[in-house]
Structure 1
Amino acid sequence: MAEQLTREQIAQHADIHIDAPRVAAPVDRTFELPKGLYIGTVGLYLGFIAMLAVTFAHPELTILAVIFALSVIAGFGLPLVWTRLAPQTKSKSKTWGRFQQEGVMTASGRASARDATVQVMILPVLIFLWGVCVVAIAALV
């Protein structure tokens, strides 16, 4: 059967350890990338949308272009807001010089600045070039 113990009985046999208050570990939300790569990615996506909106300008497509542009801005703006949330951090995004010296840490190991730039920028560049091809085909047909 279970025995009911009083607080005093428990306190006599208990080892009480008082932990020091926990100090939050420093938070780094910079993604270890310079601002130029972030701005370049957003610029290429918005450039693609703008290029198609201008080429295929039609009143019925205007609302779609605006929705796509707002989606891109929201998709890249939310992480920008997230980097500034509490707890406050002293970490800053890398400068180009530091980025070229150190590269960036990935899941498979450290990547050089050239490799990381290619990994980050290849999709936006390919999408923008695809838009250029679509515009060229539309102009020729």
Structure 2
Amino acid sequence: MSVRIDPRLLADAREIVIAPDAPRAVTERDFNLPVALHAGFFGLFIAYLGVMWIGFGNPDLAIPMAIFLFFTAAFYVVPALWATMAGPSETRAMPLDKLLGSGIDTLTGRTGGGAAVAQVLVLPVLIFLWGVAVAVIAALV
């Protein structure tokens, strides 16, 4: 349980001290992944929306598709802006060739570059292929 302590008692005991000035921590905002992976992720989701538009193209779907495109773009533009908000950073995003050559450290250990790319892109690829399958089934039925 917690008990409320009167601030005057703390002041009398001199237990309240001013926090020391600490240097501001450098925050990495690039997720330590190559820009090409971010672009591939974004591109696959846009391609999925394109497949849905081609497969179910109807003038009545223009407004919902515009909303989908707006939110999909926002989900990538906002983090890109966030990564550059703090000004120039001392760290740069890892180049793709470095990732493929040396891999990346994860919480579960060292992961090879190809495995890391597969882990990042497996969900967007599956969503895109699901969209293709749904569009083909709709076209055949």
Which TM bucket (shorter chain)? 0.7 to 0.9
Q: For residues 46-84 of structure 1, what are the alpha-carbon distances to aligned partners after superposition, in whole Å with 9 as ceiling and x for unaligned?
A: 111111112211122111111111111111111111110
Shift of 1:27: 2.4
Distance 1:103 1:76 in 2: 24
The answer (yes or no) to whether the contact 1:34–1:96 under 8 Å persists in 2 is: yes
Shift of 1:22: 3.4
Provide the aligned C-alpha RMSD in A.
2.4
SS of 2:110's equivalent in the other structure is: strand
Distance 1:105 1:24 in 2: 25
TM-score by length of 1: 0.79
- Which residue number in structure 2 is paired with residue 56 of structure 1? 56
Work out the number of aligned pairs and report it. Answer: 126
TM-score by length of 2: 0.79
One-letter identity of the residue aligned with 1:51? V
Distance 2:88 2:26 in 1: 9
Percent identity between matched residues is 34
Q: For residues 66-104 of structure 1, what are the alpha-carbon distances to aligned partners after superposition, in whole Å with 9 as ceiling and x for unaligned?
A: 111111111111111111012541211111221123322
Matched, 1:40 2:40: yes
The answer (yes or no) to whether the contact 1:102–1:112 under 8 Å persists in 2 is: yes
Distance 2:38 2:82 in 1: 14
List gaps (5 residues or longer) in structure 2: 1-19
- Equivalent residues in 2 for 1:1-141 (5 A)? 22-86=22-86, 88-141=88-141
Q: Which has the larger radius of gyration?
A: 1
